[in-house]
Amino acid sequence: MPDPATLHLRLFQFRCHEELRVELPVGRHFFFGSNGQGKTSLLEAVYFLSRLRSFRTAQTRELVCWQRDCFRVEAKLGETALAATWSPTGRELVLDGKPVASAVDFWGQLATVLFIGEDRELVTGSGAGRRNWVDGLIAQREPGYLATAQQYARALKQRNAWLRQGGEDRRVGESLTQLVTEHGLAMTRARRAITEPLSLAVSEAVRALSGERDTVTLRYRSSFSLDAAPDWASVAAGEQRFQATLLGPHRDDWILERNGKSLGKFGSEGQQRTTALALRLAEAQLIRERRGQWPVFLMDDVAPQLDENRQAALRALLPAEAFILITAPEDRGWTTPQDFRWMVSPSKAEAA
């Protein structure tokens, strides 16, 4: 019988790893090694199996080992086995031994939450980053959401093309507007439904991390209203001028506030980093509530950006019953006798 308390990983021709196999019992795993030894690549491989993309590059071909032409990553956890192979001729996905034609059926089967140094941009950056983050959370809780988001993206692309061509065929425009509205309202409903529990979870995590009693809220600013049909006539002139769709979920955003003030504009760097960590912890909590088990925590050297108090608070919040993969150049005092320590070098991950 498969061991539900062990995560089996295999990387083949992935980044600097010609071939790497590792079996990870449930718990905290610290991967040490100097720069360029493949620590982050191990996390990247798990993330690729979860999301079918890298968090370091938009070019999948850059994940292939030097002077090789393809890569393969595999994972097995309990009854679930996944494998993804990429080559210049295409991508092959296998789930539980059977080929998968659609990425929708593969995506998110292995739930993950990624912690990286750039997470502060979730607080300070553009709305696009927050939209992608919330959509990823919803899709890991609701398998059908990814298909809805893809349908919306296709309809939006086609409608924008119709606008660039002058928008003269009214029947085509009406059909595309209907599709954008239908799929966009479905996304808006899902986004609105997740916002309140997400805001509560973020507020609790901020308090646990900082020890402060300040109130942090997440407020959803949607382009579509669920109480009335989209007023396409009101934006018709602007759409003709800009040749782009001006209503829909692609214009949504979430406003993060601390005591009623924008964290992105008025929060200190420490407050912004604490809130970014809280977003990730809340993401993990909401995935667990829906799926019944923790996602895999992928933490890429996040400790140096936190003061000692917040580091201690974060360590205390990491669940003992989860798979937690943490990279760092060296042990900075985080590890305990119960943790697993690994030294990573190309194609090797040895217990330290």
pLDDT tens-place string over residues 71-93: 999 999 999 999 999 999 999 99
User: Locate tokens 């008025």: which residue?
Assistant: 266
**pLDDT tier for residue 1 given thresholds of 50, 70 and 90:** very low
The predicted-structure confidence for 216-262, as pLDDT tens digits, reads as follows: 999 999 999 999 999 999 999 999 999 999 999 999 999 999 999 99
Find, among 287, 288, 297, 292, the residue nearest to 27 by Cα: 297
Contact criterion met (CB below 8 Å) for 287 and 250: no
Give the Cα separation of 220 and 198 in Å (integer). Answer: 11
Would you call 43 exposed, middle or buried from its count of C-beta atoms within 10 A (0-12, 13-18, 19+)?
Answer: buried
Mean pLDDT score of the chain: 95
Give the Cα separation of 342 and 173 in Å (integer). Answer: 57
SS3 23: strand
Terminal-residue alpha carbon distance, the chain: 29
At 247, phi and psi to the nearest 5?
Answer: -130, 145
- For residue 147, give Cα distances in angstroms to 100, 142, 193, 283, 324: 15, 10, 18, 20, 29
Note the residue count of the chain: 352
How many distinct helices (H) and strands (E) make up the chain? 9, 15
Listed in sequence order, the DSSP H helices in the chain are 39-51, 121-124, 127-141, 144-164, 170-210, 236-242, 263-266, 269-291, 308-317
Instruction: Give the global pTM.
Output: 0.95
Residues 6 or more apart whose CB falls under 8 angstroms from that of 163 comprise: 239, 240, 243, 244, 245
Edge-to-edge strand list for the sheet holding 90-95? 17-25, 6-14, 71-77, 80-87, 90-95, 98-100
The predicted-structure confidence for 298-342, as pLDDT tens digits, reads as follows: 999 988 888 888 999 999 999 999 999 999 998 888 899 999 999
